[in-house]
């Protein structure tokens, strides 16, 4: 997300996807008030999706967009989008990128949770589309494919696929917590809370998909 100052109001305006200019990056941590930060979040998210979909057939563009966090860093992307409500485009994109980052960093755990969960949530598993039995590379490939769908497919379908992925993982996490409860109640509690958070994320992504179809996700 290359953001530069232009326009009659002198506000930051995105120019190209998947990079952020240094002046804007330096301003983000504390130099913008909440209204400006919200405007920048919406503007950059819209530009990323618009420009990405315009060039989504180019594998190099798609790879750069999917790998946004690796290029820019999670902290910078968080500063830009993490405060956005889930019913907004930047809020939905933030959730997709965080999900992919978790899968990228810990694919073994994710694959194990998915394997447990899909046995109890086969319909959601079919929507998520992870190869069975799932291995670390399979969940990584699915996370990449979901983000690719934002830019080279139906964005609502990508959001619904991510929601189904979260639901399967939430189910697997809850089962893991049950198994862990007798030997590590504290760890089981953390897993239960994490699974509940994944369930909420799934609901938020599903709602965002409906808003996108209605032309109301901005």
Q: Where are the domains of the chain?
A: 1-72, 84-218
* Residues of the chain with confidence (pLDDT) below 50: 1-25, 27, 29
Q: Which residues of 35-57 are buried (b: 16+ CB within 10 A; e: fewer)?
A: eebbebbbbbbebbbebbbebbe
> Which pLDDT score, from 0 to 100, does residue 7 have?
35
Cα–Cα distance measured from residue 174 to residue 53, given in angstroms and rounded to the nearest whole number = 36
Q: Which residue do the tokens 């956005």 mark?
A: 84
pLDDT of residue 129: 96
pLDDT score at 2: 32
Helix (H, G, I), strand (E, B), or coil: what is residue 134? coil
Question: Angle, nearest 10°, between helix axes 185-213 and 89-105?
Answer: 140
Per-residue pLDDT reduced to its tens digit, 127-136: 999 999 999 9
* Closest to 208 measured CA to CA, from 98, 96, 92, 97: 92
Q: How far apart are CA 48 and CA 18, in angstroms?
A: 7
| Residue 12, pLDDT score | 38
- Give me the count of residues in the chain: 218
Q: What is the pLDDT of residue 20?
A: 44
């Amino acid at each position: 997300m290359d953001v530069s100052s232009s326009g009659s109001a002198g506000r930051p305006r995105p120019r190209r996807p998947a990079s952020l200019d240094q002046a804007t990056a330096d301003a983000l941590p504390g130099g913008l008030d909440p209204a400006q930060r919200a405007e920048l979040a919406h503007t950059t998210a819209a530009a990323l999706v618009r420009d990405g979909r315009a060039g989504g057939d180019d594998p190099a563009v798609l790879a750069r967009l999917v790998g946004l966090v690796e290029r820019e860093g999670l902290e910078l992307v968080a500063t830009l989008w993490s405060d956005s409500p889930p019913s907004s485009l930047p809020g939905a994109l933030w959730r997709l990128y965080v999900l992919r980052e978790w899968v990228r960093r810990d694919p073994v755990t994710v694959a194990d949770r998915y394997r447990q969960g899909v046995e109890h949530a086969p319909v959601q598993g079919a929507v998520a589309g992870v190869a069975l039995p799932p291995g670390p590379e399979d969940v990584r490939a699915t996370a990449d494919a979901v983000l690719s769908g934002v830019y080279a497919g139906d964005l609502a379908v990508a959001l619904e696929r991510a929601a189904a992925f979260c639901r399967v993982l939430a189910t697997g996490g809850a089962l893991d917590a049950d198994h862990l409860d007798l030997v590590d109640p504290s760890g089981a509690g953390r897993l239960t809370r994490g699974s509940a958070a994944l369930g909420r994320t799934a609901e938020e992504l599903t709602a965002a998909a409906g808003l996108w179809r209605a032309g109301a996700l901005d």
